[in-house]
Structure 1
Amino acid sequence: MSIAEPRVVESDCRFEAGCDAVDLIITPRDKDLGGFSVRRVLPTAQRQMVGPWIFFDHMGPADFPAGSGINVRPHPHINLATVTYLFEGEILHRDSLGSLQAIRPGDINLMVAGSGIVHSERERPEVTAAPHRLHGLQLWLALPEADEEIAPAFIHYPGADIPAREVGGVRVRVMMGQAYGVRSPVKTFAETLYVEADLKAGQTLALPDAPERAVYLASGRVHVGATALAPHAMAVLKEATGVSVRADTDARIALIGGEPLGRRFIEWNFVSSRQARIDQAKADWRGGRFATVPGDETEFIPLPE
């Protein structure tokens, strides 16, 4: 699914008594995708990226009556990888490589755009035939400069393959990267962290370290260090160690982070370290030079003027 830079206060503070770990609170803005809206967290004027993560959307929960649903026509990407993860519902993914995959709660879809890919996100007729709900996250990863033009790829990871464990009674899933003694099988291109956790009221979870990190609160209320976090807000952390999240109510969080890759240009669905590459991609899409999506060739999203 598709976007902006910032003054962030620098600190070498370690998280200790009297020294808070939160550098910036991001409040998402609603973005209409046609038929439903998403909460767009990254990028913002305050912060473009957290580690390699350059895009963060929280979809729903959106309730659709029978006969309607998500219906995102074919559109292109370059020099990035998309990650789709659902809490509820189902999305049917098609792309120009010929991939056809239904993604369901717990699964991870990793689509590597690299030199260029086109995909659509719709729903199966069996799903749209009845009232249904869609709820999940979609994130984009910027690729390291050496990998920006690799061959496009699509990899589906069933939920059963994503490692889960309990940490102090808290259920966590290590979606990408390594944390809490386990490593996710999901392919990464730079040091990348993505963890989901469900906390009961009163529980505390120590967060794994990473060069850059941010906590997104999908539901409930928590404190990140000494800072209260409202639902659907993201707390970008300082370079602090020993940071914990304490749940004031039952809560679901997503932790993202990893190594910084440097500034990226971002325009519409295109991300690159080079503005000239984005200009080329725009011209290629306008000129019909991207591959089409088998089984979904008749429609497409035009380049915004």
Structure 2
Amino acid sequence: MIDLVIDQRRKDLGGFEVGRVLPYARRRMVGPFIFFDHMGPADFAPGFGREVDVRPHPHIGLSTISYLFEGEMTHRDSVGVTQPIRPGEVNWMTAGRGITHSERFETLRARGGRMNGIQTWVALPQEDEETDPSFAHHEGDDLPTYEGDGLFARLIAGEAFGAKAAVKTHSPMFYVHWALQDGVTAALPAEYPERAAYVAQGRAEVDGRTFHEGQMLVFAPGETVTITAVGGPAIVMLLGGEPVGPRFIEWNFVSSSKERLEQAKADWRAGRMKLPDADNAEFIPLPPEPAPPPNPMS
């Protein structure tokens, strides 16, 4: 039932830690999901430094999904959108042929508090990789929910469990937030060929084994999976869908073409990608290329 277990790797992004899960050496993608970061959880005192902010940076070939359990951040992008995101809401940004954006923490900086959420990237199908960039914010009835028998569920994007979110997706996929009370069991049907579950809080039992916060379970196709919260309440994120084909990923760029990645890097390096109108005083530079290995014949 379980093909692979992936433990998050903690990464310091400069005053703020994330738990990186995807991409992973043995599993680059789950359905169209090519990147999965658990932001925090981290507690901040009022007035913390601006080094925590994510300065303007570029993307191509993907959609980003921001989803918070706690905290607040403000998105600004090059299509002219400024949009705060709060717990239980969805910021869905489609980069397509190219977009730049920033994520700032002004509200959290003023009040202090906890930041805890998930950032994912979804690779666009090849025919949509160069689509026009766009942004959408969703909350409330846009995101179908269920509550009963100790289970809360919210459909963040895609289709699952007979429901469909209002988020415009580009390929068959699902992304779900489950909150289970201690001892509650819920089932993930074999609706999609690629599926995974990430334990965002607490512990969960699957197939007779117990897994803890920070672990992603990648499932074999064709079987219903039952997940039980053990030792207390648990938060589990479900994700997957139809595969879109192999993708190359470098820095913030995703593409089916290595040449397209090189073009995106050149465009950012040369300043040809427009910065957000409301946040254009600084940006994250392209990381330096790794040095080639020494030539033993020289």
Decide: shared fold, TM above 0.5: yes
Of stretches 147-156 and 184-193 in structure 1, the one that deviates more from structure 2 is 184-193
* C-alpha separation in 1, matches of 2:204 and 2:150: 16
CA deviations on 1:97-143 (whole Å, 9 max, x unpaired) are: 1100000001100000000000000022x431232211100000000
Q: Which residue of 2 aligns with 1:109?
A: 91
1:168–1:205 contact (8 Å) kept in structure 2: no
Of stretches 161-170 and 109-118 in structure 1, the one that deviates more from structure 2 is 161-170
Measure how far apart 1:182 and its partner are. Answer: 1.5
Measure how far apart 1:88 and its partner are. Answer: 0.6
* C-alpha separation in 1, matches of 2:88 and 2:100: 24
CA deviations on 1:192-221 (whole Å, 9 max, x unpaired) are: 110111111111001132110000000111
Measure how far apart 1:240 and its partner are. Answer: 3.1
Q: Which residue of 1 aligns with 2:29?
A: 49
1:238 aligns with 2:220: yes
Identify the match of residue 261 of structure 2 among 275, 278, 284. 278
Measure how far apart 1:57 and its partner are. Answer: 0.3
Identify the match of residue 175 of structure 1 among 156, 170, 179. 156
CA deviations on 1:245-264 (whole Å, 9 max, x unpaired) are: 01113100000000011110
The DSSP-based 3-state class of the residue aligned with 1:285 is helix
Q: Which residue of 2 aligns with 1:72?
A: 54
Q: Which amino acid aligns with 1:246?
A: T
1:105–1:159 contact (8 Å) kept in structure 2: no
* C-alpha separation in 1, matches of 2:38 and 2:184: 24
1:295 aligns with 2:270: no
Alignment of 1:1-305 (within 5 A): 21-68=1-48, 70-124=52-106, 126-166=107-147, 168-209=149-190, 210-248=192-230, 249-305=232-288
Q: TM-score, normalised by structure 2?
A: 0.92
Q: Structure 1: which 5+ runs fail to align? A: 1-20
* C-alpha separation in 1, matches of 2:245 and 2:28: 10
Q: TM-score, normalised by structure 1?
A: 0.90
The percentage of aligned residue pairs carrying the same residue is 53
List, as ranges, runs of 4+ consecutive aligned residues in structure 1 with deviation greater than 6 Å: none
CA gap of 1:103–1:28, structure 2 versus 1, over 3 A, is same
* C-alpha separation in 2, matches of 1:300 and 1:204: 46
Q: Which amino acid aligns with 1:91?
A: M
The DSSP-based 3-state class of the residue aligned with 2:83 is strand
The DSSP-based 3-state class of the residue aligned with 1:129 is helix
2:194–2:221 contact (8 Å) kept in structure 1: yes
1:81–1:111 contact (8 Å) kept in structure 2: yes
2:5–2:216 contact (8 Å) kept in structure 1: yes
Q: CA RMSD for the aligned pairs? A: 1.2
Q: Which amino acid aligns with 1:120?
A: S
Give the count of matched residue pairs.
284
Q: Which residue of 1 aligns with 2:294?
A: none
Measure how far apart 1:166 and its partner are. Answer: 3.1
* C-alpha separation in 1, matches of 2:71 and 2:141: 17
Measure how far apart 1:32 and its partner are. Answer: 1.2
1:92–1:123 contact (8 Å) kept in structure 2: yes
Measure how far apart 1:168 and its partner are. Answer: 5.0
1:22–1:227 contact (8 Å) kept in structure 2: no
